[in-house]
Each structure stands twice: as structure tokens, then as C-alpha cells.
Amino acid sequence: MAEFLFYALSIAAVLFGIGVISAKQPLMCVLSLLGSFVCLGVIYLLAQFQFMAAAQILVYAGAIMVLFLFVVMLLDLGNVEELKENSMRILGKKRITVAVVVAGGLALTSLLGTRDSMASAGPEPVVVRPDAYDPVAEIATLLFTRYLLAFEAAGLLLVASMVAVMVLAKRQREPLSDQR
């Protein structure tokens, strides 16, 4: 049952991914992305990464999706988007071929590379016993001990990006310009 669910969700995630890159309207693109996130979240749950599933749904399907939807709604892209974007005809065969080859090559390399490198042992694995398995506590312990520096750097990154967003999205005050 779980296997069937995994494959069904995989197919759904891929279909939503195709929806993301082929959607005509940005809104449909963002909603397809949401579908893909939710499918992946359920896959994480099936693979017993409960914490990651929760983070996926909260951060991706919640926060990031709200940001995307907010921007799409704010900018009223419906009217702007008529213009000749529509990829396939304008872009020309050459560009599409190059893009497909690059994408396929990268995907294949990532697949083979990760498979081979993961087959080896890797950095000393942190393994916990299943009977004492408390994913959140274990992940938190790891974050605050072995990866403390990375964790603090990540916090710094978040603060920096927050400030950057405020600076970027702030309306520029030009005293003599007209009110937009």
C-alpha cells in the first residue's frame, strides 16, 4: 500500500513539476508548485521523515508559497503576461534542444553521482537506535553540537536576507517624482 502510494505520489509530483514549467499563467505555475511540494511532503512522511514532512509543509507549502502567491497577486501579472512569452514557438528549436540536453545531462549526472557517492560510507554516519528514535530531539542535538557553526551562519543568513528584503521592497522616496 505504502509502495503504491509512493509511486502514485511520485507520478503526481512529476506531473505537477511539468505543470510548473509549462503553465501559461504564473498563478497556475505557483499552484502546481504547491501540489508538487505537498506530494513530496507526503513522500517524506511515507519514508518516515516525519520532521522533514512537517518542515516541508510548513516552510515550503506554507511560507514560501504564501510569498509566491503574494507577489503574483500583488503584481497583477494577468495583464502583463499576454506578451510573446509562450516559450515553444518563439524560442526556436536550437535553444530548446540545448536546454533539454543540459537538463537531461545534469539530471543524469546528479543521479549517477549521488548514487555512487552514497554507496560509499561517507562522513561518519550519525545513527540512532530505532527504539530511542525521537527525530526532532536528535536533529536538534546535532544542530546545536556538531553543526553549531553552520546553524549560526544560517541564522545570520536569515537575518541578512530579511534586511535585504526590507531594503529591496521599500518604496524609494524621491521627493520630486510623481506619486505612483
Partner 1 sequence: MNVPPEHMLVLAAVLFGLGVLGFLLRRNVIVVLASVELLLNAANLSFLAGARMHSGPDGFNLLGPVFAVFVILVAAAEAAVGLAIVIALYRLKQTVHLDQVAELKG
Residue closest to 37 by CA, chosen among 1, 63, 74:
63
Smallest separation (angstroms) from partner 1 to the CB of 20: 5
**Closer CB to partner 1, 125 or 175, in the complex:** 125
Interface residue with partner 1 among 89, 122, 174, 179 (CB under 8 A) is 122
Burial degree of 33 (CB within 10 A; 0-12, 13-18, 19+): buried
Residue (176 or 180) nearer to partner 1, CB: 180
Q: Of 30-59, which residues contact partner 1 (CB under 8 A)?
A: 30, 33, 36-37, 40, 43-44, 46-49, 51-52, 55-56, 59
97 binds partner 1 (CB under 8 A): no
Give the list of residues 6+ apart from residue 72 with CB closer than 8 angstroms, or none: 26, 27, 30
Distance CA 25, CA 173 (A): 32
63 makes contact with partner 1 (CB under 8 A): yes
What long-range pairs does 35-38 form, CB within 8 A, spacing at least 24?
A: 37/61, 37/65
Residue 17 interacting with partner 1 (CB under 8 A): yes
Q: If DSSP codes are grouped into helix, strand and coil, which group holds residue 172?
A: coil
Among 8, 14, 73, 148, binds partner 1 (CB under 8 A): 14
Q: Report the residue from 127, 173, 177, 179 that binds partner 1 according to the rule CB under 8 A.
A: 127
Which amino acid, 32?
S
Q: Least separation, in Å, of the C-beta of 49 and partner 1?
A: 5
The reply on whether position 154 binds partner 1 by CB under 8 A is yes
End-to-end C-alpha distance for the chain, whole angstroms: 57
